[in-house]
Structure 1
Amino acid sequence: MLAELILAAFQDRFQHPPLLVRAPGRINLIGEHTDYNGGFVLPAAINREIIFAVGLTAGTTVRLFAYDNQETYTTDVRELAPGPTHWANYLLGVAAQFQRRGLPLQGFDCVFGGNIPMGAGMSSSAAVECGLAFALDTLLATRLDRLELARFGQKAEHEYAGVQCGIMDQFASLFGRAGHVVRLDCRSLDYAYFPFDAEAYYVVLCNSGVKHSLASSEYNTRRRECEQGVTVLQQYYPEVHSLRDATLEQLEKHQVELGEVVYRRCRYVVEENLRVERACQHLLAHDLPAFGKEMYASHAGLRDQYEVSCPELDILVELARPLPGVVGARMMGGGFGGCTINLVAANAVEEFVAAMLPAYEKQTGIALETYQTTIVDGVGALSPVAVS
């Protein structure tokens, strides 16, 4: 058991009792590239996780141990700053947020390790940030609410890791609820839970095994194109502050002025927000096949309008579509690689995986990895008694 290994590693290294914390990764069922446009997303915490063992010390030394790659990093709480050790920056950035708030921070020891695949779009970095934020909040008795801890994680990623992420990943890791997905309004940060029938349908991820180099540059381009669309619409509709406020009718009326490319980008975002809203109604009606149709439509929009898919992701979706028990599939994440997310009837999962593995390798020459996920609670403490 992972928690046992992390606990043993902490006790061997530091010889004092730690707090054990579990921080899950996340999936996003629908609502892609809507977050930075003030829209809606529909993530859930999953049973891929980072386990932390953290204990306070009397001095000012911070000792970190990354169990998975057996690396150490040591610094002083009075000298926190980004450094050349990439994995440590996520943790140091979180610790720095406590100091920014004027909260007392003392030395601490930390061992962490997990089973979230790197680069697969399950937000291992957010789990690392949120797990340490929760642990320090608990140990220091600072009593911050979960939204504040999510912001700590987001700011750590901005300032120490140099990634200008939204807040969805940290939010999902902290606010996850077993058997539910959470609809997050990325503008107001209002949220609501919707039931997900995890007995009837499983969420299976298929890792394309690729990450194309244009992902980051195209991401920035898409953001600019959306902003250009808003600038055009604001001339006629001052109430449009982001694409969240725009309607399909407004886009169609000004299609020529927007230009073909910007029009397609904006239309995708407006339609994707509508898909998230419809998807939530399908969940309330326990209609997962209807939910799956929204996923297929989302992928088509990401492929044809937003143009952030890639051949490998498209192949995965088309291979999944005719298989028994599959009701929905789409790319998940920023695009140009990573995973597809597939909604598969529980009794068809084994057959689905058995069919996908050879078919994908035959078409691409890439060995396919699949991950069957369960929707779980967000970040929380584990009792050392339970794993000793």
Structure 2
Amino acid sequence: MGRRADGEIVQINLGPFRPYLVTRPDHLQHILRGNAANYTREGVFWRPLHRLFGHSIMSDGPPWERSRKVLQPVFTAKNVESLAQRMADAIADGIDGLAEPVGSGRPIDVPAEMARIVNTAVVKIFFGDKISMADTERLAPAFNAVGTSVVFRYLLPFLPGSVPVPGDRAFHGALRTIDDIVVPLVERYRDRPGDGDDIVSVLCRAGGHDDPVWVRDNLVAMLATATETTAGALTWLWPLLHSHRDVAARLREEIDRVVGGERVRPEHLASLPYTKQVVQEVLRLFPVGWLFPRMVVAEENVGGVRLRRGRTVLISPYITHRLPALWDRPDEFDPDRFSPSRSQGRHRYAYFPFGGGPHQCIGMYVFTMEAHLIIAGILSRYRQVACSPEVATPRMGASLRPRQHVEIVLRPAREAGREGAA
């Protein structure tokens, strides 16, 4: 539909539900930034997520403003850089856990292992080790279940919540698991948050005594976004590298040259420009946040189309990132499209995997550093010699994940080199 519309704003006929589809960068800039207050995170698409995140940084209006004001200092580029070495050490410790399956030659469960490595770092650095790894291991599948169980709610957004659909039981079960972990955590620290700069302490100091539900909502939001985004994006990486051997070889060469046999350090990252391009291209093809619905507050004309009050506007990085008018060979995996020379003149909203405007993801600096450290850390030690499936395809959900279960086989870099493995 996006390609047929060719950048024009169109209304999609989904029976009783007729949202506007907006794909052109200048229109997106107006909605996400220029007049963002007129397009809120409300409406039928947000109902399942509001049940999960409540009045948090994933909402809108005063609760969102309060949440962002409290959490923003934790995620500034300056603060993330100050935590970089601790993050690098935690990620390296997480990658150490791959040694056993690699040594035994077993396939590696990519979603589970990427989540484990990310969680090892995120919980330690940003949650002050206040969540046990056992609880973290319970949270990862619960958040994944939430993401996949809302499919029918997305496909039938006009149905009221009182009408049961497939996935509701899984959603409520996952929600109970999340609350079984997060609610006691809030109770434990709400009246004694301490003076730490981790997310739990920051939120409890701001609202633990007066508004524990607000603390709970934001903890759930941050746990979901700080872990799911990185782990989800990295799951797509391995099938893409397996089916594009030239990209994989160039990526390995850069990492071998810069990192060598050392542990990856934050100062290595500035010398890994191709690694950055690979991550950018993964997010272009498979942005984890693939759909950003908005509700029109006041009627206005955009691009010659009257957007009526109360209607839903659908914004999708997945669609805009694949428009032929914006991208040459849009369905091909080509990290060189993010080289400095080819990036010149590109509209800011031709590529927006982290959203834009006031609601731009505050964790994008964390994601960028995490992803680069994890990729460089794994490929400095290991070589990928097999992947199943060879090509992954997306499934619908709250976040964009592969339909197929992804597994890879790794070999130690030195051993693979001796064997001449690709």
Establish whether TM, by shorter chain, passes 0.5.
no
TM category (shorter chain) comes to under 0.3
Tell which has more relative contact order, 1 or 2 (C-alpha 8 A, sep 6+): 2
TM-score, normalised relative to structure 2: 0.26
Instruction: Choose between structure 1 and 2: higher helix proportion.
Output: 2
So what's the TM-score if we normalise by structure 1? 0.27
